[in-house]
Structure 1
Amino acid sequence: MAVQAASGTMSRSQTQRRKRIVQTAAALAVRGGVDAMQMRSVAERAGVALGTLYRYFPSKMDLVVAVVTEELDLLEGGIVRRPPTADTAAGRAVDVLLRATLGLMREPELADALVRSLITAEVRIELDTRICDLVWRVATDDLTNLPVGEEVSDAPVDRDSTGYVLIGSLISVWIFELVEVLKGHRDVDEVERRLHITAERLLASF
């Protein structure tokens, strides 16, 4: 049975062990991408038994998601500390996506891990929802209830609304642009231009 991820269900030592595993996996990903995150290598470098690693992360993709989630935690924390100041929903949404892009481009292998996890069926819903919720709250200028890390917001998000669907469409464009950057077909300035054009059209009614 997998160890529960939420800090409230783990002891302090379990939480520290899990964090060490994720940090080890992230370090391997930075050097060699998802392919370098072999479960046996992660276990050896983190100083845990392979069976212990699998109790925390039943599959390699679970571990990839944990690494990517830490990056999202950092992004959310930065947004809470320094919220976007654009006057429009489109401008605020693009600000978030550009911050994410610039952060990921500092570690292209982690960017590759994010893209792979976002296009993998079994984890797409989880990460898509996390990113869409973040951009939605920023675009609608509702940061008062923005959850950070493992905190959970009580503020409802209407994921069936037209606005939320449009945010999802913008996220899909952003993922495609990330792929183009990783291929060397785009630079960040071009991504910014394209995101602004797309966001201004999609979110004009916000």
Structure 2
Amino acid sequence: MERILRSAARQGAANGLERVQMLEVAKESGVAIATLYRYFPSKMHLFTAVMQSQIQRMEGAVADVDPDADPVVTVTELLILATRQMLKTPLLTHAMMVSNNAALHATHADANVTHASFSALLLGAAGLAEPSARDEQLARLIEQAWYGVITAALNQRNPIEQVEDDIQVSCALLLAEWSHS
């Protein structure tokens, strides 16, 4: 399955969602088209899975977080790192975001898993092993703010300095009560 996700990510980065062909993903990843469709019935499913895979890769960075670090700084740095990576491949980022939005609209389970995984990633980065309902709300709000910043960066081609500053301000304002200082 990893070969399929890598192939989809490569093709999404090169061609964008609309121009990715499931047959080409199957060929490049060395699987039969029926196998691809068994795992991923549509491009929406495929690119939602690519997004989930990228979130799982970020979890490795969170595992190494210094428990004494300020949670706001840690979450901010994580989001800036993720943003830099995503903006290197704007067509792939667009494909993942459109697919995840479509899955959410269709109340597709994969999109809910992606949302829960990302919230858990943020809470883990903040060192909140047993988050309160308020902590979960703050994680949800910062995720939504970050999503808006990424969307604006993709649509308006905002410079990376502005994008990073927007992330820093959002985290400082929304997550102030997590700060150790």
Calculate the TM-score normalised by the size of structure 2: 0.83
**Does 2:122 correspond to 1:135?**
yes
**Does 2:137 correspond to 1:165?**
yes
- When residues 187 and 118 of structure 1 are mapped into structure 2, their CA distance, relative to the original with a 3 A threshold, is farther
> 1:45-84 residue pairs with structure 2 within 5 A?
45-81=28-64, 83=65
CA distance in 1, matches of 2:144, 2:57: 21
- When residues 85 and 113 of structure 1 are mapped into structure 2, their CA distance, relative to the original with a 3 A threshold, is farther
How much identity, in percent, do the aligned residues show? Answer: 26
Corresponding residue of 1:108:
90
- When residues 29 and 101 of structure 1 are mapped into structure 2, their CA distance, relative to the original with a 3 A threshold, is same
CA distance in 2, matches of 1:32, 1:22: 15
Amino acid at match of 1:190: Q
Aligned residues: 173
Corresponding residue of 1:37:
20
Amino acid at match of 1:114: M
Structure 1 unaligned runs (5+)? 1-17, 143-154
**3-state SS, counterpart of residue 176 of structure 2:** coil
**3-state SS, counterpart of residue 205 of structure 1:** helix
Corresponding residue of 2:11:
28
Corresponding residue of 1:147:
none
Contact 2:123 2:139 in 1 (8 A): yes
- When residues 84 and 65 of structure 1 are mapped into structure 2, their CA distance, relative to the original with a 3 A threshold, is farther
Amino acid at match of 2:133: S
**3-state SS, counterpart of residue 186 of structure 1:** coil
CA distance in 1, matches of 2:67, 2:90: 27
Amino acid at match of 1:91: V
Of 125-134 and 85-94, deviating more is 85-94
Runs of 4+ in 1 over 4 A off after TM superposition: 84-87
Calculate the TM-score normalised by the size of structure 1: 0.74
Displacement after TM superposition at 1:203 (Å): 1.6
Contact 1:115 1:178 in 2 (8 A): no
Between structures 1 and 2, the one with greater helix share:
2
CA distance in 1, matches of 2:57, 2:31: 26
Say which structure, 1 or 2, has more relative contact order (CA 8 Å, 6+ apart).
Answer: 2
**Does 2:159 correspond to 1:184?**
no
Q: Deviations over 1:25-58 (max 9, x none)?
A: 1111111112233222212332322212111222
Structure 2 unaligned runs (5+)? none
CA distance in 2, matches of 1:111, 1:84: 29
